[in-house]
Chain A
Amino acid sequence: MSALAHLTTNSDDKRTLVVVFLRGGADGLSLVVPTADENYYRARPRLALKKNGLLDLDGNFALNPLLAPLESAWKEGELAIVHGAGCEDTTRSHFEAQDLMEHGGFVAGGWLARFLRARGPSISPLSAIALSPTMPDVLSGAPSATAFQRIEEFSIGRKTTPAFPRELRRLYEMESGGLRGAAESTFGALARIESIDTNAAPENGATYDANDSFHQGLRQTAQLIKADVGVDAASVDLGGWDTHFTQELTITGNIRSLGAGLAAFRRDMGTRMATTTVVVMTEFGRRLGENTSLGTDHGRGSVMFAMGGGIRGGKMLGEWKGLTREMLDEPGDLPVWNNYRDILAPILAKHGAPADSFSKIFPDYALKPLPLYG
């Protein structure tokens, strides 16, 4: 039981968990640089980020300057960072690793979906949303989950008579299996969303990039949360991190988008950040050594961020054993010293997961939760 000491449950149903997934395997070593480790500079003669110009975090690590918008969250103690984080999958396959990190084990359905079920039924059909064209696996099996890209899209159409949705609904209610459930979720969400003012501007002077789909996903997540339509969990993706080739060129825009987007969301949410947690994860990091095409290949450990929701941040959490040769994972990767479940579990507890539900949310795994809340 002592291992689970950092799990304190809180069943406040106004809390929202926002899961940001960096798809493609983000190079954690470029996001949060181990400036005190000479091995990093030796392994990346061309790609390593020079110490000066970085934003020092604790003397050992520094933020990529493109993440400067996150510095205030760090200084105010709302941002926690865990390096050498990831999952136990060793295939270095995007799909296997994403699969494992979204499913939370070798089970059907996603961990976020199982968390929502463990919390008990929600009255809101918008309990779980994905700001994406298709439903991510992390929400597969959720009691109700809806994927969309723009709130405004969310209506059948103004010109239909009431008879049309009524008759349509009647036919779907006669169905069995997946189609029936899908239709139930859709009709429920349609009714709920009509109450939202989609023109509401961001608060507190926050600015999102109008042309950045990640930013627009966060903006609309904030709108839905603030409209109190009962969003328990939101999934927002930021893709394009698979930097085998000319990494610096391909990764710069993504890092900028990540930092500016998260900072805008935090500002826009204002005091609601106290009940909103943002967690940022990726399927794996990149190999420590750069390859000959100025890129990095699939590795193991990367970095995870957790922000808001009462997190006691401003410090690096978890294990870090250094990048010496004998510490590295074959064939030369930053290892996974911190399993993603140990970062997620305390957050899920804070968001109301019952203490006895963790064996269902993360089956076959002995949790060692990190002290995210002090």
Chain B
Amino acid sequence: MEITADAGIRRAFTAVKKTSRREFIITGAAAAAFSATLFRAAQGLLSEGGQYLGLGLSRPISQAPLAPASVEIDPVAHALNRLTFGPVAGDYERVANMGVAAFIEEQLAPENMDDGLCDRATARFADLWGEPLGEHYEEDDDSLPPILRRVTTLRAIYSRHQLFEVMCEFWSDHFNIDPGKGDCRWSKPSDDRDVIRKHALGNFRDMLRASALSPAMLWYLDGQANSLKQPSDKANENYARELMELHTLGVHGGYTQQDVMEVARCLTGWSFYSKRETRLRKAIRPRVFLRNVASRTPFTERGEVFFDADHHDDGSKRVLGHEIPAGLGKDDIERVIDIVAFHPNTARFLATKLCKRFIADEPSAASVEAVAKSFAESKGDIKTVLRTLLSTAEYAASAGVKIKRPFHFVVSALRATNASTDADKPVMQFLEKMGQAPFRYPTPDGYPLEAEHWHATLLWRWKFALALANNQIAGTRIERAKLQRSLGGDAAMMAAVLNRKPSADESDAFFKSGDGLALLLASPGFQRC
């Protein structure tokens, strides 16, 4: 009859509890945190009122910064194309001066780099971001997913931690959760914070463990329903299968239907207090619900993950050839996570996906093997793995072979034009037309990495280019003449936007098209990275 809240999760929530609005109201004990919040908000309002209109977020541009001089994509431009969501004015000069190796190290240590513009762009959502999940349940049904999409887009546009944001996007696809599914509309934001962003440049095993017991994932893949009331009950296989198929081994990673069933048995009994303890959920776990009502306040418990030993299948299991003895209880999950996180096929599967993201749609076996080896040897240390990947010969030789996915395209266009944007509905609608608004992918496999899936989106890219260049997107503004002037004229602007010197044909089309900036953004050269 033991019900044990998972200690790690509990610590994570305790750590952020000081910003809880309700606790302040109920106990009056969080005055310090509240006044800091108030101070931040007031500061934001007074100095940067324009942010609420999506204005005042453009960066200062130094006069005529160094621009790429070659028609080929040079190594500096290549690094900016691949490690960021596209360069902003001045990036090329900065990276050329510091060197690509130093740039990579800078990007691998975002904690050492302040991020004022991004903080300003997202300041109005900062409170919400710091709150524990239980507080998020106070929000209306449809309020959080749009904020999550918006904050994610604003960060991609304005953050200096570009590689970190790129990796957050990568992991959000890898551990995809569509917040349209039930409780996920409240629990996905804390998954984004406590799983994706917390571990994006950390350790894969830690991220996998966090994901396995993330309330949003427990809901999305039915882990919370994977509970045995009586010995004849069968485990819910949904998460167990995706854990191996999508998160670790890959579909051809050597697991069997039997392994899926055994992993599902290992994970029985883990659940969390969701927004609504519905009648059905009461029926499934009457004792848990009664205890919840009787001895704890449902408000503080909501969002808390727990292990219900009564509903756990505590018999022995065999997972991928490893014996898991009977009686381990809540330690079963640790064994399972170790087995799948450190499996050699997991290293290969993750290496393949990372190579597809950073090198080419069909990376060579040699690159995949080198990255997989690094993944295995470092026990999933993501920074080590990225260093290995970025030092492969194939990476260096792959300039311009990739096609930007729509999100990358939109963000890179906003960055290249030094746009001020609130990333609100009008921008999101363009992303939806192109089929890649953040957190809108409906199935657990996440947006595909390969270019072929995105070929049908060209028309919407062209329409976005025209709308952006002509200030026809509400909440988004560019200063076209100023941009052209401060970059140092048309030729320099072309080089800055394309991240290389334009070809003679591109230059010719720029002047003949009647709308040079829109043409550049719509051109095939700008789709490549």
Q: List residues of A whose CB falls within 8 A of some B CB.
A: 23-24, 90-96, 130, 133-135, 140, 145-149, 153-154, 156-157, 159-161, 163-164, 166-168, 170-172, 174-175, 178-183, 185-186, 190, 239, 244-246, 289, 291-295, 297-298, 330-331
Contact = CB atoms under 8 A, between A and B. Distances in A.
A186 B509 contact: no
B515 A160 contact: yes
Interface string B277-307: 0001000100000000000000000000000
A131 B176 CA distance: 23
B519 interface: yes
A159 B472 CA distance: 11
A210 B513 CA distance: 39
A330 B453 CA distance: 34
B452 A186 contact: no
A147 B234 CA distance: 41
Interface in B484-529: 505-506, 509, 512-515, 518-519, 522-525, 527-528
Given A95-B245, A164-B515, A156 B456 contact: no
B257 A92 contact: yes
B72 interface: no
23 contacts: A96-B245, A133-B432, A154-B459, A160-B515, A161-B514, A163-B512, A164-B466, A167-B519, A168-B519, A168-B523, A171-B519, A174-B524, A179-B458, A179-B524, A180-B524, A186-B458, A239-B442, A246-B280, A291-B234, A292-B225, A294-B280, A295-B225, A297-B236
A182 B456 contact: yes
9 tightest A-B CB contacts, nearest first: A133-B435, A182-B455, A293-B225, A147-B456, A167-B509, A167-B513, A134-B435, A161-B514, A135-B456
Contacts, number: 154
Given A153-B433, A157-B463, A293-B225, A330 B509 contact: no
Contacts of A178: 403, 451-452, 455
Interface string B238-255: 100100011000010000
Contacts of B280: 246, 294
Contacts of A294: 280
B407 to A, nearest CB: 13
Nearest to B509: A167
Given A171-B524, A291-B236, A160 B433 contact: no
B462 interface: yes
Nearest to B455: A182
Most central of B233, B455, B518, B525 by chain A CB within 10 Å:
B455
Nearest to A292: B233
A147 B519 CA distance: 23
B455 A181 contact: yes
B276 interface: no
Given A133-B433, A153-B433, A171 B509 contact: yes
B261 interface: yes
B225 A160 contact: no
Interface in B405-444: 432-435, 442-443
B394 interface: no
B523 A164 contact: no
B236 A157 contact: no
Contacts of B442: 23, 239
Given A164-B519, A297-B237, A94 B443 contact: yes
Contacts of B222: 244-245, 293, 295
Size bin of chain B's contact surface: 35 or more
Contact of B505 (A170, A186, A246): A170
B119 interface: no
A171 B458 CA distance: 13
Nearest to B234: A291
Nearest to A133: B435
A65 B418 CA distance: 57
Contacts of A23: 442-443
B445 interface: yes
B452 A140 contact: yes
Nearest to B460: A153
Which of A147, A156, A171 has the largest count of B CB atoms less than 10 A from its CB?
Answer: A171
Given A174-B524, A186-B458, 14 more contacts: A95-B246, A95-B443, A133-B432, A145-B456, A147-B435, A147-B456, A159-B470, A160-B514, A170-B509, A172-B524, A182-B455, A185-B456, A246-B280, A331-B261
B142 to A, nearest CB: 16
Contacts of B229: 292
B52 interface: no
Contact of A167 (B460, B463, B512, B525): B512
B236 A182 contact: no
Contacts of A186: 458-459
A107 B513 CA distance: 41
A95 B452 contact: no
B498 to A, nearest CB: 11
A332 to B, nearest CB: 9
Nearest to A190: B459
Nearest to B239: A244
A195 B407 CA distance: 32
A93 B459 contact: no
B454 interface: yes
B172 interface: no
A69 to B, nearest CB: 26
Contacts of A292: 225, 227-229, 233-234, 236, 284
B241 A92 contact: yes
Contacts of B523: 168, 171-172
Contacts of A145: 456
A156 B466 CA distance: 9
B458 A182 contact: yes
Contacts of B528: 179
Contact of B403 (A91, A160, A179): A179
A25 to B, nearest CB: 11
